[in-house]
Amino acid sequence: MNYKCIIEYDGTDFCGWQFQPNERTIQGEFEKALKKMAKADVNVTAAGRTDSGVHAAAQVINFKLDKDWNADIVFKGINSLLPPDVLIKQCRVVDDSFNARFDAKSREYRYRIYNGHSALKRDHYWCTNLSIDFSILSELADSLRGSHDFRSFCVQKSQKESNICILTKSFWTKRGKEYTFHVVANRFLHGMVRSLVGTMVRVANGQLTKREFAELSRRPERSPRILTSPPQGLCLVKVEY
């Protein structure tokens, strides 16, 4: 049976989603729990492979078990075996052909900045004292909507044959000292959101001009002027099918 789950996790103490030998990963914790429950090795597929320190409020996964357990048994059983920083929120049986990664139509991320320092927010925000012009952030985010080649904003070794992504939403909101970037796309390149955020902040802080940002966007390779923001501010918040 094929099970689809919506999960959340605090990525602070993980080396990302993808299994790595001798490292603590979310996929590793899930597959360890499933092995205890099903008494067999089980492969878990996720909609997106989040990096070390990145969080998820609604990651989507699927896995197949050679069992006829109903979804409630799987939901309760795996949650009882998972560590406290990982949780299944929903679980249901789906068609055998469903694949959490390849069937996804869009993914939504949120990146949060706290303009100051905070002991309570440091694991879930980029805490910085940089001066930030919100109007510039908004203008830059508007320019990202649509279909663009984002190769200059991804980890160079992870560039694909096609680096074009279609952004249907790209905007900033501000509440007090909190700045939040909201972005939805059909796909994301490795490190893309954090590179966009860091570089937008450089412009909003006066370290780069808007013209330079546009030039960086058109470059065929990554530039050292592109800043990658810290991972803890990033969270996967929704996947659409």
The residue behind tokens 């991972």 is 231
The residue behind tokens 């099918």 is 241
Active-site hit among 41, 51, 68, 72: 51
Q: Burial, 181: exposed, middle or buried (Cβ in 10 Å; 0-12, 13-18, 19+)? A: buried
Say whether 51 is catalytic. Answer: yes
Closest by Cα among 163, 3, 160, 154 to 72: 3
Distance CA 5, CA 236 (A): 15
φ/ψ (deg, to 5) at 27: -60, -40
Distance CA 160, CA 162 (A): 5
Between helix 192-204 and helix 134-144 the angle, nearest 10°, is 140
- For residue 133, list its beta bridge partners: none
Q: Which residues are annotated as catalytic?
A: 51
